[in-house]
Structure 1
């Protein structure tokens, strides 16, 4: 079972993202978070009989006008990808996007850089694990679609690549 500190961190990450619903299952325990109106509902179910079956925690959710704008910006970029036959490198998970291996290091790639299939283009941190994301195709980076330190969702476009 997750510690309360880890649950609070998950609540914060979901709250700051565009995610509407999040489910985490591990070793018979399940955490389900849903954004609804002005509250966020977190349901924690424990597999043991001697422990209460569910607990509900209500957290206020701040209005997210900026997040709506981000969603609107993503749609035109997807249309550009289809029109110009560019490859989109997407996030394989929910987490925090990092363009460089450390805060004082140069970014892995920038616009105009040539990449190979196995070239590392960024890191996505999820649950304190740093996952290196590879380019998936040989080509040239045309656009970086997210900012360093930004929360990203599963399937969210990160880079546009012109395949060779």
Structure 2
């Protein structure tokens, strides 16, 4: 099964290319993407975990810049000298953000937590599939930009990380 980071990279590559349609099958997973005027449609089929086809529509990478400046429950990400050198961990899909694996469990990370490239920082649930989001960078969590249970958009910043 493909990792969410691999799917995210495929979406970016297709979005930046002149390819209008793409499909890929690997170890029981299928991905089919089609460009539609202003959006990329991703259809992910996973034979192992979901017998019903799952479909997720996402905005292209260019739209992520608009999300960065959108207020979300009082959180505004400003591009100033304080945040310019910080890495943003963004949502790879539209869904619900969860900071822990269950309500009884502690948060995966909090401000001050040290992370590596493969550290799971949260879960984004989309269409009953719980996707673990990895830090993708080694460093320290400086700010958590969303609250558990909050709806997030594709490309929306979730965490700010001070890279090492």
Q: TM class, shorter-chain normalised?
A: 0.5 to 0.7
Name stretches of at least 5 consecutive residues in structure 2 with no aligned partner: 1-37, 46-54, 58-69
TM-score by length of 2: 0.55
Structure with the higher helix share, 1 or 2: 1
TM-score by length of 1: 0.55
Q: Alpha-carbon deviation of 1:99?
A: 0.2
Name stretches of at least 5 consecutive residues in structure 1 with no aligned partner: 1-20, 33-67
In the aligned structure 2, how far is the partner of 1:80 from the partner of 1:148?
26
Structure 2 CA distance for partners of 1:83 and 1:143, relative to 1, 3 Å: closer
In the aligned structure 2, how far is the partner of 1:22 from the partner of 1:126?
18
Q: Alpha-carbon deviation of 1:31?
A: 10
Structure 2 CA distance for partners of 1:152 and 1:163, relative to 1, 3 Å: same
Q: Which has the larger radius of gyration?
A: 1
Matches within 5 A, 1:53-132: 69-70=71-72, 73-74=75-76, 77-80=77-80, 83-132=83-132
Question: Number of residues paired by the alignment?
Answer: 105
**Partner residue of 1:153?**
153
Structure 2 CA distance for partners of 1:155 and 1:82, relative to 1, 3 Å: farther
- Contact 1:23–1:31 (CA under 8 A) maintained in structure 2: no
Runs of 4+, deviation exceeding 2 Å? 21-27, 68-74, 80-84
